Amino acid sequence: SYVLTQTPSVSVAPEETARITCEGNKIEDKMIHWYQQKPGQAPVLVVHDNNVRPSGIPERFSGVNSGNTATLIIKKVEAGDEADYYCQVWDFTVDSWFFGEGTTLTVL
């Protein structure tokens, strides 16, 4: 079982930069994906393969993955970015996907 650890909550003011972290053993060796989930809605992929934005996702969203920590970076945060964010990896040693516990982003 591959454990992904996320900070439960992050708060930032509008226009500031939010950094949401996901820790895992040698996570830099894995491709990490990030999802945004707003209340009552299905998750939406916002970054895949560490730092690739799907079509339609604003450039404000980006990602880095180094060492034991992957980070989702959201620049110039807006009220509409308030959501839960989850990281995800595939662990080939057990042929399984794993999600982090999620981080709630609050825009002050």
Give the one residue of 43, 53, 60, 64 binding other proteins; rule: CB under 8 A. Answer: 43
Token readout for 4 is: 């992904």
Query: Whole-number minimum distance, CB 76 to other proteins, in Å?
Result: 24
Query: Whole-number minimum distance, CB 75 to other proteins, in Å?
Result: 21
Half-sphere exposure of 3 (CA within 13 A, CB side): 2
Give the one residue of 44, 51, 69, 73 binding other proteins; rule: CB under 8 A. Answer: 44
35 binds other proteins (CB under 8 A): yes
Question: Beta 103-107 vs 83-91: how paired, if at all?
Answer: antiparallel
Token readout for 96 is: 């399984």
Give the one residue of 23, 28, 82, 101 binding other proteins; rule: CB under 8 A. Answer: 101
Per CB under 8 A, which of residues 77..96 are in contact with other proteins? 84, 86, 88, 90, 92, 94-96
d(CA 53, CA 88): 15
Token readout for 89 is: 């990896």
Torsion of CA 2, 65, 46, 76, to 10 degrees: 130
**Interface positions with other proteins (CB under 8 A):** 1, 31, 33, 35, 37, 42-45, 48-49, 54, 84, 86, 88, 90, 92, 94-102
